[in-house]
Amino acid sequence: MMSQQAIRPFWKNFIGGRWVEGARGRRIALEDPATAEPLAEIARAEVEDADRAVQAARHAFDADVLRAIKPERRAAMLFRIADALEALAEQIGQAECLDNGKRISDARAQAGESARYFRYYGGIADKLEGRSIPLGEAYVDYTMHEPYGVSAQVVPWNYPLQLAVRSVSCALAAGNTVVVKSPVLCPLSVCLLGEACQRAEVPDGAVNILCGSGAEVGTALVAHPGVDHVVFTGSVPTGRAILRLAAERVIPSVMELGGKSAGVVYPDADLDAVADDVITGAFSNAGQLCSILARLIVHRRIFKDLSARLVERIAKLSVGPGIEDHDVTPLISAAQRDKVEAFCRRAEAAGADRVVGGRPAPDLPGHFFLPSVYADVSPEMEIAKEEIFGPVLCLLRFETPEEAVALANGTDYGLVAGVYTRDLNLAHWTARQLVAGQVFVNQWFAGGVETPFGGTRRSGFGREKGQEAMLNYVQTKNVAIRLTDRQIRR
């Protein structure tokens, strides 16, 4: 069993470089999802705090603390944040394991993953080059990338630190200042990002972190007249609400929304390797991942064989607290567990065949749900169309590649997709046909900070990660110069 360190009992918001209470002195009680016991408290940010945070970010931006400095100095600052996050790895690991529930090895890895974002975008900060455009000898014309200003970033609960850092690192590299709205269920690792920024001597106000209700503080933040840019990662309904606010103010936004991603398994695939990979793809973080493998579309000839291999592997998965590094950890809350169970029961009522799981884990005090597989799922069933955000995998059968692609593309989402085959031509053909922002071949979650990520359809728009992400955080200015030298005649 892994050891559990004491978590600080009270945490604050980070505004203008200082740790502060909420404007009304209220607190949010946090729970350990593995035990359903109280864990700690955090100062509850209010609408007034959203205003203070935006003002701090506005002031820092207008004072040119990031925009006007040499890009190499911004890069050095990002590298210092990376170092500070790594130095805080143990605290980050404990915090995100205990307030989010994820396994301790994964929670500890969040510090390294997050540091990697700051190093990657630190490396880009001094390479944001423009173009020179030929207009004839009487002109000089060039483009430059400018930051938007204050970027408001609203973060969900499933990977709070990494999803915050994914946007903050890019925004800072380009010279923006940021206000982050962390998730109320598990904000602690994002607080530690504030600590890393302090240790890295990030200028006051360049990074601000608030924890408060989405409907109140999130709305106030996005609607604030001092905000120039919005990054939202979360559900489709909240994305729509935020888009309405952004539209009202005519500010750009990045929408990283949900998914119902499918993997297609062709009959020539290495079934043992596929089964191992599917377990990771479908049950990591108890299925609470936007890019989770939610639907496995399996060729009719290998359907029984692959199902049996999956059941065999699921039987070996341990279900238990993240702090003990179990394979399947709790869902974030009792409400999320009940929601997942309701999906399963409705699927059974609609005729889906429950192969394993489908119910909360018995005899455990927290919000655990058994890893679950449903077969004989038809594409029009709710369980095949809607995002569940739990450890539930649907199996569907196909006969021809065209049929597999039609099934995979048959939802309103388009975040990621996968293909399993040894045939490179078939893999490439399928990757082209799949409607998704990223396609994995023979390994779910292949890729990294370097590979662009984001959705099509209801999964959103804009890209995070990779060099493409930088384009979300800058606007292009063109400078067109008419030369007046007498030597120039045209």
For ligand NAD, the binding residues (CB under 6 A) are 154-158, 163, 181, 183-184, 214-215, 218-219, 222, 233-235, 238, 241-242, 256-259, 290, 387, 389, 415, 455
Q: What's the closest the beta carbon of residue 415 comes to ligand NAD, in angstroms?
A: 6
Q: What's the closest the beta carbon of residue 218 comes to ligand NAD, in angstroms?
A: 2
Q: With contact defined as beta carbons under 8 Å apart, do 38 and 154 qualify?
A: no
Q: Name the token pair of 379.
A: 């594409």
Contacts of 424 (CB under 8 A, 6+ apart): none
Contacts 24+ apart (CB under 8 A), 395-398: 395/295, 395/296, 395/298, 395/303, 395/307, 395/355, 396/295, 396/296, 396/297, 396/298, 397/297, 397/298, 397/299, 397/300, 397/303, 398/264, 398/297, 398/298, 398/299, 398/300
| 129 included as an active-site residue | no
Q: What's the closest the beta carbon of residue 31 comes to ligand NAD, in angstroms?
A: 15
**Three-state DSSP class for 442?**
coil
For residue 328, what are the β-bridge partners?
319
Instruction: Report the alpha-carbon distance of residue 216 to residue 173 in Å, rounded.
Output: 29
Nearer to ligand NAD among residue 183 and residue 194 (C-beta)? 183
Count the Cβ atoms, other than its own, within 10 Å of residue 416.
28
Q: What's the closest the beta carbon of residue 255 comes to ligand NAD, in angstroms?
A: 8
Q: Which of 24, 66, 27, 31 is nearest to 49 (CA)?
A: 24
Q: What's the closest the beta carbon of residue 36 comes to ligand NAD, in angstroms?
A: 19
For residue 393, what are the β-bridge partners?
373
Q: What's the closest the beta carbon of residue 214 comes to ligand NAD, in angstroms?
A: 2
Q: With contact defined as beta carbons under 8 Å apart, do 465 and 449 qualify?
A: yes
Nearer to ligand NAD among residue 125 and residue 154 (C-beta)? 154
Q: What's the closest the beta carbon of residue 234 comes to ligand NAD, in angstroms?
A: 3
* Active-site entry in 211, 290, 344, 394: 290
Nearer to ligand NAD among residue 65 and residue 254 (C-beta)? 254
Nearer to ligand NAD among residue 214 and residue 358 (C-beta)? 214
Q: With contact defined as beta carbons under 8 Å apart, do 102 and 96 qualify?
A: yes
Q: What's the closest the beta carbon of residue 269 comes to ligand NAD, in angstroms?
A: 27
Q: What's the closest the beta carbon of residue 259 comes to ligand NAD, in angstroms?
A: 6
* Active-site entry in 256, 341, 387, 464: 256
Q: Exposed, middle or buried: residue 7 (CB in 10 Å: 0-12, 13-18, 19+)?
A: middle
Nearer to ligand NAD among residue 93 and residue 183 (C-beta)? 183
Nearer to ligand NAD among residue 167 and residue 307 (C-beta)? 167
Q: How far is CA 335 from CA 156, 215, 258, 474, 487, in A?
A: 16, 18, 18, 39, 75
Rounded-to-5 percentages of helix, strand, coil across the chain? 40, 25, 35
Nearer to ligand NAD among residue 184 and residue 298 (C-beta)? 184
Q: With contact defined as beta carbons under 8 Å apart, do 114 and 165 qualify?
A: yes
| 256 included as an active-site residue | yes
Nearer to ligand NAD among residue 331 and residue 427 (C-beta)? 331
Nearer to ligand NAD among residue 69 and residue 241 (C-beta)? 241
DSSP at 431: H
Q: With contact defined as beta carbons under 8 Å apart, do 143 and 476 qualify?
A: yes
Q: Which residue has the tokens 């955000």?
A: 389
Distance of CA 205 to the CA centre of its chain: 24
| Cα radius of gyration rounded to whole Å, the chain | 24
Residue positions annotated with a catalytic role: 256, 290
